[in-house]
Structure 1
């Protein structure tokens, strides 16, 4: 039975791959590499649900829907706007940060309890909202706000004036 499902999926994938790729190329504005990635992700998602496709009625149309959802999901990701650069800078710019500042901040973060460190990283490094952080840590929003306030106070206490000296140059 498993062989027949895999065979049926293989036939579907081979028949639809070209159409999905052309649609993905149109969605991506001609970016063939991204289009290939989207088709691969679409077919991967279709494979996972392939046993239930008999209830879908039209797997080809559903595959198109999955493709569009994959594309939209990709556009929402923060990394979607990254573009390769033809030129690399000769030396790090001002925004690259100072190694001593980074080391000082990492040392101060290491001193925090693990849950406080997690809140700080999720909220301020990954730029998540209070509710997203609460969901990720399986705690209430109030707990995230309390931990965030306390952790930031501890960091200010640990770093004191040294952070200003390191940051200003």
Structure 2
């Protein structure tokens, strides 16, 4: 990659890093895993930077890579670290900036991975059903049914 390409890639990542972290957190409900997902997605984006920057919508391309990375990692539980039952040292409790974050995380965690991804893409990132279908590699009808079932599950 040329210096100009490298610089362009770094600017692209820097401008979107926090959004990707929040998106990954909404998908997996864990900041450490979210950081890992973002790192893996950035690596994939770097390897295919020329395709990314020439895409019709580089942001949607990047979100697609991040979302699919999360879905792939969910299928490979043996690659994840195992948490211990108890921690040796307990950190001080962090003050939550949003009081209902825990309840939102619990609600999202109660959904299946695809429903969670569909609802986050549709309602958090405000993607259309067609854009969501393209990102996830599923049909628009599947997006609509997953949206309906996911919202019904959240209401229950």
Taking structure 2 as the reference length, the TM-score comes to 0.51
CA deviation after TM superposition for structure 1 residue 57, in Å: 1.3
CA deviation after TM superposition for structure 1 residue 81, in Å: 8.6
Taking structure 1 as the reference length, the TM-score comes to 0.47
Structure-to-structure mapping, 1:107-146, within 5 angstroms = none
CA deviation after TM superposition for structure 1 residue 60, in Å: 1.0
Question: 2:53, 2:86 → 1: CA distance?
Answer: 48
- Which residue matches 2:73? 74
Higher helix fraction: Structure 1 or Structure 2?
A: 1
Structure-to-structure mapping, 1:84-95, within 5 angstroms = 84-86=84-86
- Which residue matches 1:20? 20
Question: 1:81, 1:11 → 2: CA distance?
Answer: 31
Question: 2:40, 2:69 → 1: CA distance?
Answer: 7
- Which residue matches 1:99? none
Q: Cα RMSD over matched residues?
A: 2.1
CA deviation after TM superposition for structure 1 residue 21, in Å: 0.3
Structure 2: segments with no counterpart, 5+ residues: 88-156
Question: 1:8, 1:23 → 2: CA distance?
Answer: 22
CA deviation after TM superposition for structure 1 residue 82, in Å: 3.9
Structure-to-structure mapping, 1:43-62, within 5 angstroms = 43-62=42-61
Deviating above 6 A after TM superposition, structure 1's stretches of 4 or more consecutive aligned residues are: none
- Which residue matches 1:39? 38
| Greater Rg over alpha carbons, structure | 1
- Which residue matches 2:134? none
May I ask how many residue pairs the two structures share in their alignment? 87
